[in-house]
Every structure is written in C-alpha cells, then in structure tokens.
A = this chain, B = another copy of it.
Amino acid sequence: MSLKRSFIREILEAIDEHTISFAGGLPSQNLFPIEDLKESTLKIIDNPKVYQYTVSNGISELREQIAKRYTKQGFPTTKENILITTGSQQAMYILAKFFENKDITIEEPSYLGAMNIFRLNNLKMHGVKLENDGVDINEFEKSFKNTKLTYLIPDFQNPSATTYSKEKRDEIAKIVEKYNGTLIEDSPYSELYFNKKMPYISEKLLKNSFHLGSFSKTLVPSYRIGWIRADEEKIKSLMIIKESIDLHSSGFVQYVLAEYLKDDVKYEKHLQSIRDDYKEKADYFSNQLSLIIPEFKHEKPKGGMFLYGSFGDKIDTFALVQECLKKKVVYVPGNQFYIDKKPNGEIRFNYTHSNFEQIIKGLKLIKSCL
C-alpha cells in the first residue's frame, strides 16, 4: 500500500479552531435545513423498519425521489437506474473497482479524491488540459480513443470552477459515442448554479454513462448519501461491488432523506437559498481577492464552492501554504490537483465555509506571507 493520505484531509485534521480555512469543500453549516430535517426525522423515527437491514441498492422511496428529479430536469430516469452510495466518494470507489487496471482520461487539474481512488485501484490516468469552457477537445479525443474511459466534472469543476460550454458538452458526447467508450460524469455541484442549470452530458449517453450525484453539497454532508445514475444492467453489476463494500448505506438517513424530498417545493426553496448565499459569498471573495492580492489572477465563479486562479510561475503555492499554516490560514495549492504534483502558482479557494470577516482576515494573512 503506497497510498498517501489526501493533503486536504490531512490539513482538515491538522488545523485548529483558530485557523481560517479556505481549504476543504465544507458547505456552510448555517445553510443546513436543520429544522426541516428534524421534522422528517421525527416522522420516521418510530418505525422499526428504518433500523433494520435493507437492500443493497438503496431504499426504493429514496431512489424514486432521485429519479423523479432527474426526469423533471429532462433526463428520463426510473428508480432502477439509481444505486445509492455512501457519499459520491463511494460511487467513485465502486466505479474505480469496476474499471480497475484500466486507462482513464481525466481533466487537469482534477478532483484529488478521485485521483487517489484511481491510484488505489491501479487505473492509469491521462490528463487533458482544462480550458475556460471545458477540456481541449482535440487533446481529449486523442486521449479518449485509446482509454475509452473518462472522468469529468463538467459543472463548476473541483478545483478549477470551470463550467463546460454547451458546444463542448455536445462534442464530448459525440466522441464518447464514436469510440463506444464510457463517461463518468461527476456532478456534486450542478444544482449550485448562480444563473442557470446546464444539461448533463450523460443525457445524450444513456447506455455509456455513469452520472454521479450527492446530497453532501445540497443538503448535509454527514449523512454520506450519494448515488450513481446509469443504465439498469450496469447498476446491477455495480450493486455487487457496493454490497461487498458495506452491504448498504445507512438506512436510517436514507429514510430521513426520502421523507424530506417528498416536498420538492421545500427542497427547491432550500437550493435557491444556498445559491443566493454562495453567489453573494463568491462575489465578495472575488472582489476582496482582487483588492487585497491583485497579483492573483482569477475569474469570478458562476456556481459551486470554489474559486481558482494563479500567481503565474513566480510563486510556488505549495511552499507558500506552509508559511500560511503558521499564520493560521490555509488553502489548497494547485499542484495537488495534477498527476505529477509539480509545484505551480495556482490556488484553490473554498469561499463557502468562511464568513465575510474571516475572508478579509484570511486574505490579508496570505498577502503578508508573499
């Protein structure tokens, strides 16, 4: 086992309550709909069945609610297309196990957690450069025609905050189909748009896609409930792996979520409140960043939880973060999101977890380390 711990998780455990953290992907806990979740919990809490073992693919009531939402969004889905997972982290683990030892095309930079999982299951990663509107299509096709498997985060990508244009989405779908390959589309942030929702690439790839979703960013992370949407036959194969990993995801919280989601007006209102709050935070963070550290170049985020940018090649942000840690402020250096982890001048900031005061204070502390 040569696996290293995730830098982000290590930081999460090393920092104390006085550290201002722009690392991590922590949603703002002020936005957790605690009263509504409590109400749903109380509705199911006396029923013995919510405490018993349940089926491996997830309770029918929850899969139905998730399928209904996809269908409403224009992506026809039934509960047989859904596999409930212990967070979308597990969804990725299951897929990595399913595709173990294969080659895979990924974005660079890409999600650290996914890269660790791919390494653990001996997938050979091939990076394709991300541009402002998605991966470089020529480079992508060149890589995909060999790997026939790709992992993409088209909406408010982690870490880069990039969102794919409609055109690039269509081109990716065409390429995946042309080579009869497979798309793993990771969508934890898709609902957190500030302007409008983009169509999923998977909608054009019914047989050749795995679409990953999660309640960690839209409701609460601690329940650890995510899912995979795929062709029914593929779901059946994945269920065998899921079953052997943990039999099933926590049944109790699945029942709470299924109860909560019955009222989709309530859920929609809740999502809108997150979008409003995060948009305000993103604007604020971006503006303050331009004022306090003008030498850091970035674009204003259009959704999600991250702001990404670069100092250019004069500053090594991995070296810088060690200094910042001493002053009790932390972010994730960009090199962590590349396959070779070569030092660079990039930074991923999470802007959802800190309040306005902490944002200013934290940015000034970073400035003082330069």
Residues on A close to B: CB < 8 A?
Answer: 1, 3-6, 9, 12-13, 24-27, 29-30, 32, 34, 37-38, 41, 45-46, 48-56, 85-87, 89-90, 93, 97-98, 113, 116-117, 120, 216, 220-224, 237, 239-241, 243-253
Contact = CB atoms under 8 A, between A and B. Distances in A.
B244 A113 contact: yes
Contact of A252 (B25, B86, B222, B239): B222
Given A5-B243, A86-B246, A240-B1, A53 B253 contact: no
A117 B46 CA distance: 34
Nearest to A100: B1
Contacts of A223: 51, 250-252
Nearest to A5: B240
Given A53-B26, A116-B244, A251 B224 contact: yes
A355 to B, nearest CB: 14
Per assembly, the copies of the chain total 2
Given A6-B243, A51-B220, A120-B241, 8 more contacts: A3-B244, A9-B56, A86-B245, A86-B249, A89-B246, A222-B251, A224-B251, A250-B250
A51 B29 contact: yes
Contact of A240 (B4, B52, B244, B246): B4
A53 B34 contact: no
Given A29-B48, A51-B32, A55-B12, A224 B244 contact: no
A236 to B, nearest CB: 9
Contact of A13 (B6, B55, B222, B251): B55
Nearest to A2: B240
Given A46-B38, A53-B24, A98-B1, A9 B243 contact: yes
